[in-house]
Amino acid sequence: MSQCCRKIKDTVQKLASDHKDIHSSVSRVGKAIDRNFDSEICGVVSDAVWDSREKQQQILQMAIVEHLYQQGMLSVAEELCQESTLNVDLDFKQPFLELNRILEALHEQDLGPALEWAVSHRQRLLELNSSLEFKLHRLHFIRLLAGGPEKQLEALSYARHFQPFARLHQREIQVMMGSLVYLRLGLEKSPYCHLLDNSHWAEICETFTRDACSLLGLSVESPLSVSFASGCVALPVLMNIKAVIEQRQCTGVWSHKDELPIEIELGMKCWYHSVFACPILRQQTSDSNPPIKLICGHVISRDALNKLINGGKLKCPYCPMEQNPADGKRIIF
């Protein structure tokens, strides 16, 4: 009994010693979090900048639902719609349902639904200069080649599908037809072994997603993921600006919904459209204040044009040409 008590006591002491070492490390984590993270980031922006809380909540819920649909989490999206009483039209869901159905088939290496979709949208895909249909036919041909000599006649017969693409993809078609010479010896040990690379399936999924989203009017990346990534870049800058504003006791620096107090570089990945800033007022143009092209070719904003009118005439701020303000034409980038 005394030996057991001694053994238990030694074990408890060892556990206490180990726990002490772990506890000292864990206790420093909280201090590190407090030191490196702002506990309240909502205060970065004044509430007056945004819409009402109900409007914010509805926009956020819609963004989350769209993200879930785009990621293929259809059941989760439906559950969120029910719990949040968010009404989503079937017309909104349908493109995502079709997109995910075809992508699931491609992940299972079933080309049928994707080929059917590509053929039915052939004309619109050609307008986008898309090579999706050719890549799908090429992948099906490669699958036949992987079947060995038994599939040679079927592969030759299927090669007729390449005829409409011969002018644009001549070199790739020549490579595939040349691989037939090594079919009996095995493509794995031939100069054409790259045709059997599994990376072709990942590539076709990316190509289909990009082209299908273009045709269906969807973004390749969900707005929620883009907003989150942009926020991670912009938030530290905005927090620094907030600290400067509070330190200098500046007011009214940021009171508009459509613009930030400073320009924040998010990188080329976040460039989605052309942006024009008026060289006179140093403001970004908008639908209510569009860019106007003068007769002389210089471009200014409409607000700047209205401020430069003197006696019914307008003198270009960059050249001495006088002109009628009504002759200015709106530019759409």
Q: What is the pLDDT along the chain (333 residues), one digit of tens a residue?
A: 888 888 888 888 888 887 877 877 787 887 787 777 766 676 666 666 666 777 778 888 888 988 888 888 888 888 888 888 888 887 888 888 888 889 899 888 898 999 999 988 888 888 888 888 899 999 998 888 888 888 888 888 888 888 888 888 889 889 888 888 888 888 888 888 888 888 888 899 989 988 888 888 777 888 888 888 888 888 888 888 777 777 777 666 565 556 666 777 887 777 776 778 888 887 888 888 899 999 888 999 999 888 888 888 888 888 878 888 888 899 887
pLDDT computed for residue 45 by the predictor: 67
pLDDT computed for residue 291 by the predictor: 92
d(CA 114, CA 118): 6
**Residue in 308, 309, 287, 291 with CA at minimum distance from that of residue 300:** 291
d(CA 232, CA 46): 19
pLDDT computed for residue 42 by the predictor: 67
Side-chain-facing half-sphere of 212: CA atoms under 13 Å: 27
d(CA 198, CA 194): 9
pLDDT computed for residue 39 by the predictor: 60
Q: What is the largest CA-CA distance in the chain?
A: 110
Contact 215, 245 (CB under 8 A): no
d(CA 183, CA 12): 70
* pTM attached to this predicted model: 0.61
165 CA to centre of own chain: 30
